[in-house]
Structure 1
Amino acid sequence: MHPRTKIAAVAVALLVGAGATGAATAAPTREGGAPREAAALTGAAWLDRAPATGEKVHFSFDAHLAWADRDDPRAATGTFRYSHAVGKREFTALVRVDCLATGGPVATVTGIVEETNVPDLRDKRVGVSVYDDGKRDRLGYSWLASTPQTDEVPPCNAAAPHEKVVRGGGDFRVLPWIYDGMAR
């Protein structure tokens, strides 16, 4: 083999190897090799309200932050839903996610209400926080001390997770945020 051909072949092999190594370290992967998301909040649960109140409150989440958007929690996608039944009346909302931040077992997600039967709630931002302890999760919401119809909630803000979900209701799953290569 000509010396120039050997040099070219070695250079190509080095470039291919460097490209493969770079691709392998670009995004962490889950088991099975699928790319890992930068953050996520999924799952559903009922809040643990005293039976005497006659209230049934349910939340479900499907919120995700793609690896490519790991530096921008406002690029999160997905939805969350909640319902609050009091006696024969039920209030519901479907929320389009506009921000997701997680740290360890805690997530805060906000979004714009797209569908609801609550007057003046449509197109308002609401926020929810979740503490995922794997046994008895907790949840908080932006309207704890206000009403979502009147107060503007900033992106990725909510009250601390002050309410417990029903016993055995550890169904929320928080994927800790990886920001700029660092787990948060």
Structure 2
Amino acid sequence: MNRVTRCTGIAVLITAVLFTAGAAGSAVASGGDDHHRREAAALTGTAKLYRVAGDDITFSFDAHLAAKDNDDPSKATGTFRFSHYLNGDGAYAKAKVDCLVTGGKVAVVSGVITESDLPGAKGKRVGVTVHDLGHHDRLGYSWASVGNPAETKDLPKCVSSAPFERVKQGTGDFTVVPWQPKF
């Protein structure tokens, strides 16, 4: 076998291997195999809010929208928790996720409070907005204008406020997976 034929054969073999690997990777990336397809959207992580007075305010999220539910953010699942304490007084709440919408590094999640020691909060829908900025995450919540979650009335799904609160330095680890709806 001459040198040109041998080099051509090796080049064809390498091209075939690369083409096959590229096609397999494209199939997974485009969702060709649901088992390997990424979820449609997600919000995860925990952080404490910064308050000059020293309030201990913590938010934790484990919210997900499955790839199969990409067209319906109200099929999101998971939970989120929040608490607010100052000098030993305060309350906590846990909510069951009922909607999740993300765009870029911003997420809005809502849920119905299933557990809380705040009188009147259980059964109320609340919403939270997170802006995932690495070490400088921000957060907002639907009860910002009314004072506490128990005072929220008839909040629709996936509604919250702008992320006006700053996360305490060194505590933010929010991760937002951006939603890519098919319109």
With normalisation by structure 1, the TM-score equals 0.79
- 1:100 matched to 2:123? The reply is no
* Greater CA drift, 145-154 or 33-42: 145-154
Q: Distance in 2 between matches of 1:58 and 1:25?
A: 35
Q: Over aligned residue pairs, what C-alpha RMSD do you find? A: 2.3
Q: 1:24 to 1:167 in 2, by over 3 A?
A: closer
Give how far 1:179 is off: 1.1
Q: Distance in 2 between matches of 1:54 and 1:103?
A: 32
With normalisation by structure 2, the TM-score equals 0.79
**C-alpha contact 2:29 2:37 (8 A) present in aligned 1:** no
- 1:177 matched to 2:146? The reply is no
Percent identity, aligned pairs only, is 50
Other structure's SS at 1:68 match: helix
1:97-120, CA deviations, whole angstroms, 9 ceiling, x for partnerless residues?
Answer: 000000000000000000000011
**C-alpha contact 1:128 1:159 (8 A) present in aligned 2:** yes
Give how far 1:89 is off: 1.4
Amino acid at match of 1:89: D
Give how far 1:24 is off: 4.7
**C-alpha contact 2:43 2:61 (8 A) present in aligned 1:** yes
Q: Which runs of 5+ in 1 are unaligned?
A: 1-19
Q: Which residue of 2 aligns with 1:35?
A: 37
Spell out the pairing of 1:14-163 with structure 2 (5 A cutoff).
24=28, 27=31, 34-50=36-52, 53-146=53-146, 147-150=148-151, 151-163=153-165
Q: Which residue of 2 aligns with 1:167?
A: 169
**C-alpha contact 1:110 1:157 (8 A) present in aligned 2:** yes
Q: Distance in 2 between matches of 1:61 and 1:70?
A: 19
Amino acid at match of 1:157: V
Q: Distance in 1 between matches of 2:166 and 2:32?
A: 32
Amino acid at match of 1:70: N
Q: 1:75 to 1:90 in 2, by over 3 A?
A: same
Q: Distance in 1 between matches of 2:121 and 2:172?
A: 29
**C-alpha contact 1:28 1:36 (8 A) present in aligned 2:** no
Other structure's SS at 2:135 match: coil
Q: 1:28 to 1:64 in 2, by over 3 A?
A: farther
Q: Distance in 2 between matches of 1:28 and 1:161?
A: 36
Give how far 1:143 is off: 0.5
**C-alpha contact 1:136 1:169 (8 A) present in aligned 2:** no
